[in-house]
Amino acid sequence: MAALKPVQDESSPVGFDFPSPPDVLPKWAVAEGREWAGLDDFSILVKAEEHTGKRLEVTYSPLSPGVWGFHVVKGDRGGIFVNAALSHQWRRFVLFHELYHFLAHRGGVSLWSRTATPLSSFESQADFFAWAVLLEEGARWNDATP
């Protein structure tokens, strides 16, 4: 896969620390990410709804400085909120990071209070998934013929 290089985007708000992709992605992330790479927002919503049975909405709006995004689930509805001040690349990263939580971490508050798994592990999984999607998209873009 092609490397996605983090760049300090002057149009993005101050206070964002843009991470570098990991040296190695877990095989599960690469396999799962491949399924989502290249999808437009509508196709992502349809696929997420098919996977979860929940209706999902994605909103790009101004959020507090330093807040990349978050997701909320209530009943059969979910929402992903992405900071519109981020560049396109980082908005997409946040979308897939939060999407992974929506797809894989469905236990909600009760799960967080009962699990012995550290929260950082759930965040790392979501980051791996987001990187896998973006790196696959980069590889597809680089492989495209003009």
pLDDT of residue 139: 80
pLDDT band at 5 (very low <50, low <70, confident <90, very high): very low
DSSP lists the bridge partners of residue 72 as 79
Name the more confident of 61 and 105.
Answer: 61
pLDDT of 95 > 60? The answer is yes
pTM, entire model: 0.80
Calculate the alpha carbon distances from 145 to 1, 140, 141, 142 in Å. 16, 10, 9, 8
Q: Give the model's confidence band at 7: pLDDT under 50 very low, under 70 low, under 90 confident, else very high.
A: very low
Helices (H), the chain: 27-36, 41-52, 88-104, 108-114, 119-143
What are 59's two structure tokens? Answer: 């909103």
Residue 82 is predicted with a pLDDT of 96
The pLDDT score that the predictor gives to residue 48 is 97
Q: What is the pLDDT of residue 123?
A: 85
- What residue ranges define each of the domains in the chain, with the CATH number in brackets? 27-138 (1.10.10)
pLDDT digit string, tens, across residues 100-136: 999 997 654 444 455 544 445 678 899 999 999 999 9
Cβ contact 99:78 at 8 Å:
no
pLDDT for the residue numbered 122: 78
The chain-wide mean pLDDT, for the chain, equals: 81
